[in-house]
Structure 1
């Protein structure tokens, strides 16, 4: 059994590595071509060191590779495993393995162990390597475009504190992890505005406060009842102050601002989970981020579904040259899974589905297909 395991694992791992390498090379080329339009540009400074050069483009594209690997790993597992299973069936090697005691359930168990290894690899890449490299790539790009921002107004966040609630606007995030164009609107428990604070630059001081520089603060003293407003001595008053530094206590971390400014699917599972909790605690809609969170949870498990889909190809009968059509079918199945996984995320967000259901439905559908194919082609024949 050890010899059979070594044979199958060696062939499958080699095929998956070649398929993944081919896909990554293709995406590397496309990303590099897309970056050529930015060559020779800088962030508005005259220094020659701040010009975007080909070496910067190559480094930026290389930092995107882990995220592409995370997205392409299930497809690569499917295509590589289908190719090996079909080739073993075509050359009658799999028939010899079956006569040597490799039954359907033992073969499925072998492939599931291999799929579990790819689940672990996919989770590690998607949760640790890809977010770190994606953040480094965005900061590298921001050095030559001077900012990281989304839309024209930046990111909006909300936070409830024991006595008041706050609405925060951050326009840009700089490469050195500073925030630009910060606005903080403070409201009391009745929904009346208490103060506004604006600062051109703010920094994260840890997990419990922001430090705003050159802050302009306006405090509003509004009477508690409409009857008091009619009295001249009790009219509304506004006091304005300018502070060199202003420390604002908050639990909004740098990761939460990054989630709001960057793509949520590029963040780690823990960062998304904390951000979803923050949105729910502050009465904000978290549907999109909950779907992305559950997609991060279920997506690595699709590697198990892919190896289950590939096993029935070992029990098909091939004519000479017919293996190419089955490999092409595997490519189409992998692409359809990738597209369906994205489409269900958008549909679930629009139709307000349960986040875990929108994220798990594509995997469950393909698992049902793989089990049906396994039962029909392997067990009944």
Structure 2
């Protein structure tokens, strides 16, 4: 059995690696041409474009893993069937159960490798690519902006905050921040804007260039650490004296203690593709705690959690091809059929995600349904071929 395992694993790994290398070469070329045009515009050159394209390789490996595994495994098993090697193995005692067990172990290896790349390597290189591109272009890492919510309970009552971050730069620097503070009755207490902010891992925001307008001078946690609290009501240029009770503050720096840690803010301003499964989970928990809609990120979290299982599904889909006779279509036809299966899996997976978001379906069921459906198809086909062919 050790010899059979070595034969199958070496053949399948070789085929999958060959297919993956072909896909990566194509994607690298496309990314390089795209990045070369962008880098030439800012005077960075071809070397920087090649570096950016290399940083995208782990992300491409993660995205392409199920396709490469499916096509490579089909090619390997179909070739073994066409050359009668798999038939000889079956005659020597490789029954359906043992074949399924061998490929299941191989599928677990593929799933573990995909998980490591998708949760540790791809997010790191993806963020580094965004930072390097922004650094060369002199632009922000993210210009899309994000809204966040926070709550704080004090002896004086409960306070809620709506925070808007306009852009994020390299090194965790945020720019153009607006913070709105509300009391327990929903009344606006403080409106604050800051030119920039640094956020720590424990949720301490160091706001720079702060301009704050306070409607009530007592009880506000947001300005509790602000110097100059004794300032009198300020007059706004061109409008005459400020209304009674209205106080404006101009502060060079202001610390703000919040539950919005660096990880939460990063998750809000960066694409979900550059987040690990744990980061997605923490962000969905934060959204739920703040009573915000978390359906989209919940679906993304479960899809990422089940993504390594898709690699196991792809191996299961390839197994029936080993039991087809060599005359039942050539290898190219079987590989083409595998490509069509992979494309249909992606289409149904994406369709399920959109329908789950529109219909508010259970996120884990939305993410698991396509994989379970195709796993059922593969096992049914495998059982039918073993029984009747």
TM-score, normalised by the number of residues in structure 2: 0.89
1:189 matched to 2:181? The reply is no
Give the alignment partner of residue 134 of structure 1, picking from 113, 117, 126.
Answer: 126
Q: Distance in 1 between matches of 2:217 and 2:248?
A: 15
* Whole-angstrom distance in 1 between the partners of 2:341 and 2:194: 52
| 1:204-248 deviation line (CA, Å, top 9, x unaligned) | 23313100011111111299xxxxxxxxxxx75210111111001
Structure 2 residue corresponding to 1:346, chosen from 346, 351, 354: 354
2:195 alignment partner, one of 200, 206, 214: 200
Match of 2:74 among 61, 78, 82: 82
Distance 1:332 1:200 in 2: 52
1:150 Cα shift?
Answer: 4.4
Partner of residue 205, structure 2 = 210
For residues 235-267 of structure 1, give each alpha carbon's deviation from its aligned partner in whole angstroms, at most 9, with x where no partner exists.
Answer: 752101111110011121222222222221321
Q: Could you tell me how far apart the structure 2 residues matched to 1:353 and 1:175 are?
A: 37
Partner of 2:141: 148
* 1:102 Cα deviation from its structure 2 partner: 0.2
Offset from partner CA, 1:170-189 (integer Å, 9 cap, x none): 11111222000011111111
Q: How does 1:105-184 map to 2 (within 5 A)?
A: 105-145=97-137, 146-151=139-144, 154-162=145-153, 163-184=158-179
Whole-angstrom distance in 1 between the partners of 2:192 and 2:371:
47
Residues 268-303 of structure 1 deviation map (CA, whole Å, 9 limit, x = unaligned): 011111100110000100000000000011110111
CA shift for structure 1 position 77: 0.9
Does the 8 A contact of 1:78 with 1:334 survive in 2?
yes
Distance in 2 (alpha carbons) for counterparts of 1:378 and 1:208 = 59
Match among 329, 336, 340 for residue 332 of structure 1: 340
Contact 1:221 1:236 in 2 (8 A): no
The 3 A distance-change label for structure 1 pair 298 and 320 is closer
In the alignment, which residue of structure 2 is the partner of 1:373? 381
- For 2:50, the equivalent position in structure 1 comes to 58
- For 1:302-317, what aligned pairs fall within 5 Å after superposition? 302-317=310-325
Further displaced range: 83-92 or 247-256: 247-256
1:254 counterpart = 2:262: yes
Q: Report the Cα distance in structure 1 between the residues aligned to 2:123 and 2:197, rounded to whole angstroms.
A: 23
CA contact (8 A) 1:200 1:213 kept: yes
2:297 maps to what in 1?
A: 289
Give ranges in structure 2 of 5+ residues lacking alignment: 219-242
Match of 1:10 in 2: 10
Contact kept, 8 Å, 2:123 with 2:273, in 1: the verdict is no
Q: Using the alignment, how far apart are the partners of 1:360 and 1:134 within structure 2?
A: 26
Contact 1:41 1:144 in 2 (8 A): no
Deviation at 1:321, TM superposition (A): 7.2
State the 1:149 CA deviation.
2.4
Greater mean deviation of Cα atoms: 121-130 or 23-32 = 23-32
Deviations 1:88-112 (A, max 9, x none): 1101111110111100010000000
Paired position in structure 2 for 1:23:
23
Q: Structure 1, residues 135-192: CA drift from partner, whole Å, max 9, x if none?
A: 11111111133102243xx111111111201111111111222000011111111100
Shift of 1:320: 9.1
TM-score normalised to structure 1 length:
0.91
Number of paired residues? Answer: 361
Q: What secondary structure sits across from 2:170 in the alignment?
A: coil
Deviation string 1:321-355 (CA, Å, 9 cap, x unpaired) is 71110011111211222232222212211221111
Mapped to 2, the partners of 1:283 and 1:157 lie a distance apart of 11
